[in-house]
Amino acid sequence: QKRTRSMQQRGFSAHLSVAAPSAQPSVAATRLAAASVPPEVPSLPTSFLERPDIIASLKSAVLTPAAGGNATAVTAPASKLGNFKGIAKGNTTTAAGMGGVGKTLTTAAFVRDDEVLAAFDKICWVSVGQEPDMAALQNTLHRQLVNQPLPESAKGDELIALSVLADAAREQSVLLVLDDIWLASHATPLNFVHQASTRSR
């Protein structure tokens, strides 16, 4: 399932592609306590042009039929989209487009949506980039999950840290956003949600 939407931004046309999971999604059940937006999510400028059609596509892809599911959203350059076939398992959604098309800000608006916040216990967001500091990113994710840094025993070992992240998320429903990711291999030490619970889809 793939949806492409046209957007007008500052007088030129741009395209953002949303690649959704293969399963047929629907809106997740509302939770008693909504997730909060972590400080790592970029603020929306006053000039930000909302794109309800793109937000609707992301919501349709990420919000799943049953409460308690986990999901991963990835933003990536359009030229790198093919690299993510290896991680697009379970409930993983990819937003791709050329630089400046608005992938990050549109995804930031998406995670601020009341319906999205109500569907998850936690929202986790890290901006990866071309040369990521995995230890710092894993530490940020752990803080977002449990408000504490990674234990010393997990620092310096990506696999151990990934296992600790999965354990921290195990009793929670988590939306993980990996922003500005260029290589699928960079997602592997960060994409803990598929290990966190048998509830993951």
Fold type of domain 2-196:
Rossmann fold (3.40.50)
Q: What is the pLDDT of residue 170?
A: 86
Check if the beta carbon of residue 150 is closer than 8 Å to that of residue 139: yes
DSSP string, 34-84: -----TTSPPPPTT----HHHHHHHHHHHS-SSTT--EEEEEEEGGGGGGG
CA pair distance 21, 23, nearest whole angstrom:
6
Q: What is the pLDDT of residue 24?
A: 39
pTM of this structure: 0.76
Q: What is the pLDDT of residue 80?
A: 53
Paired residues of 94 in beta bridges: 19, 74
What is the chain's pLDDT, residue by residue, as a tens digit (201 residues)?
434 333 333 332 345 555 555 443 333 444 556 789 999 999 999 998 888 888 888 888 888 554 346 777 777 775 555 555 544 445 677 777 667 778 899 999 999 999 999 988 999 999 999 999 999 999 999 999 999 999 999 988 999 999 999 999 988 889 999 999 888 889 889 988 866 543 332
CA pair distance 126, 114, nearest whole angstrom:
20
Q: What is the pLDDT of residue 77?
A: 72
Check if the beta carbon of residue 81 is closer than 8 Å to that of residue 96: yes
